[in-house]
A and B are shown apart, each in its own frame.
Chain A
Amino acid sequence: MKEIQLLETIEKYLEGKMTESEIAWFDDLRSKTPEIDQLVVEHKLFDSKLHQYANQLQFKNELQAIHNRLVEEGEIQDMDASSTKAKVIRLWNKYKRVTAIAASIASITALVIYSLVSFFAPVAKMNDLQQLSKKIDQVQRNQQMQGAKIREFDSKIPSGYTITAGGTAFLIDGKGYLITNAHVIKGSGAVVIDNKGNEYKAKIIRIDQDKDIALLKIDDSDYKKYNSLPYSISKSNLDLGTEIFTLGYPKDEIVYNMGYLSARNGYNGDTSNFQISLNANPGNSGGPVFNNRGEIVGIISTRQAQAEGVVFAVKAKKIFELLSDLKADDPTYANIKMPTYTTIKNDNRVTQLKKVEDYIYLVKSYNSN
């Protein structure tokens, strides 16, 4: 208690809020009591460091905001656009013949490998891996349990349709574009529900079974667009031991989990996936895998049935591939723009979660009876 009063006095002194007589009294006290003198010096240093910290933090945030604004306005570029077009053409002319030969060898090899892979691969996958989408019965059970709740009554699932699978999805564009797993979307349509329980109708834009990624678009007048997302999507590969975390809907409430990258590749060396060690449950499928900086690096998809804590995630790189395929097929989607900056890089985990949870949705896909 006494310490607090002393501190209060020191602060008043340092901030220059004392009257002249008070200053004289306090200066006298300082010269007589070395302990207090020491405390004043110490506090002054601390105070300046604290203010410096606050100032820099605010300046850093401001810089980040300005950067994002300039990118959005198109004043500065946000991609590693290749500025070396001329070089590429030169190289092409030089290596045209070699490329032609290499391409024909490659296509033969590809055919051979494809036939081998399609012969061996699917058998193993079905037995050993467990997809983390919620199966029909489970979702139905959940539904019965909360049948009394109001939001089930005005569900946007059309009558005459039943839920076929459920999982997690996350926004990659504030306009309402969501990514989830292909195996979550078993049916003709889907609804997504945000962490506050609001339900939105969603259109299935594209399903890529090989990559196990599906792209949805919220198609609902109730949905309010976001101008920007707090996280970015990262193309780069991760190092072993990288800490990661995820948010998903193994139940009807958003659930957090954390772990680390345990292998660079997925099941049986599948290079489109990586292996992580964390607890995932049915319903986590389609959930984002974040690194500490708040960048999405993958999508949770399957877990190894016999082993605990062995979970596989699709590399985020595959989202870029899916989008470029889509844009090549249908130019109307050229306006999908993924966030390239994470604004939560310097936040602690609790703050990061608070900032991202609004952009992660529960998905239910449905089909006609």
Chain B
Amino acid sequence: MGYFYLLLVLKLEALKPELGEQALLEKLANRDTNAIEAIYKENFKMARNFILSNNGDHDDAKDIFQEAMIVLYEKSRSENFTLTCQIKTFLYSVCRRLWLKKLQQSGQLTTLVEGMEETTGVEEDLELRQKENHDFAIMEKAMESLGEPCKSLLEAYYFEKKGMDEIAEQFGYTNADNAKNQKYKCMVRLKKIFFAQYNTGM
């Protein structure tokens, strides 16, 4: 009986309109640490319970959940993004799809223990994400094969958004112009390596 009561409560919770969620997602799109942490805290347990009760361990739960967070993040950044369901429902559905896929890939075809959460269609988001993951891996590999100091130099410029003067000082170039020259040379190399992979990968 207690079980049904719990179900009822969960159902009601799910139907309650979440006023704060849209605002939370807007903050997520801007990579606001507090927003990410709030969503993380609120939903990780759910993903963990699901994966632990379906043949996974804690590390699996963490990997799958973080991947789902990235899907949500990318979705929140897309231009015509609207929230059609609760964040929890979305994350749960993504985790479920991802984990099912992983189980299938590893040849474990155990039946899933169903959670009580509702699910929503996430196929499109996941397909998009797969392409992104693919591109990410190519860029990562290209970056790795670039070697030093090119890698650090480009990271300082593109990731840490440092100015050329600062970079020149950090890497020991005599002036900003020389650093800039080197940056362009590195970028040309990175571009070559990236496209060599990217084009064959298409």
Contact = CB atoms under 8 A, between A and B. Distances in A.
Interface string B41-74: 1001100100010000110001000100110010
A125 interface: no
A76 B45 contact: yes
B135 interface: yes
Contacts of A75: 41
B57 A66 contact: no
Interface string A1-45: 001100110000000000000000000000000000000001100
Given A52-B132, A64-B66, A83-B52, A3 B36 contact: no
B48 A59 contact: no
6 contacts: A4-B185, A53-B143, A54-B159, A63-B70, A70-B41, A77-B58
B187 A7 contact: yes
A358 B190 CA distance: 32
B195 A46 contact: yes
A75 B36 CA distance: 14
- A: contact size bracket: 35 or more
B70 A7 contact: no
Given A7-B188, A54-B158, A79-B58, A59 B44 contact: no
B144 interface: yes
Given A42-B195, A56-B136, 6 more contacts: A53-B140, A59-B31, A59-B73, A66-B33, A340-B58, A341-B62
B136 A52 contact: yes
The prevalent SS among residues of A at the interface is helix
Contacts of B73: 59
B132 A56 contact: yes
B40 interface: yes
A8 B184 contact: yes
Contacts of B159: 54, 57-58
Contacts of A60: 66, 70
A348 B33 contact: no
User: Interface majority SS on B: helix, strand, loop or mixed?
Assistant: helix
A3 B139 contact: no
A75 B40 CA distance: 10
Contacts of A79: 58
B192 to A, nearest CB: 10
Contact of A66 (B36, B136, B187, B191): B36
Q: Which of A52, A59, A83, A341: most chain B Cβ within 10 A? A: A59
A236 to B, nearest CB: 9
B174 interface: no
A80 interface: yes
Nearest to A234: B59
Nearest to A50: B158
A52 B135 contact: yes
Nearest to A342: B59
B84 interface: no
B70 A56 contact: yes
The 3 A-B residue pairs with the shortest CB-CB distance, nearest first, are A53-B139, A4-B184, A54-B159
A70 B66 contact: no
Contact of B40 (A7, A54, A67, A83): A67
A321 interface: no
B173 interface: no
A49 B139 contact: yes
B69 A50 contact: no
Contacts of B148: 350
A53 B143 CA distance: 10
A51 interface: yes
A59 B194 contact: no
A346 to B, nearest CB: 8
B194 A63 contact: no
B112 to A, nearest CB: 17
Contacts of B132: 52, 56
B134 to A, nearest CB: 11
B184 A7 contact: yes
Nearest to B45: A76
Contacts of B70: 56, 59-60, 63
Contacts of B36: 62-63, 66
Nearest to A73: B41
Interface string A329-349: 000000000001100000010
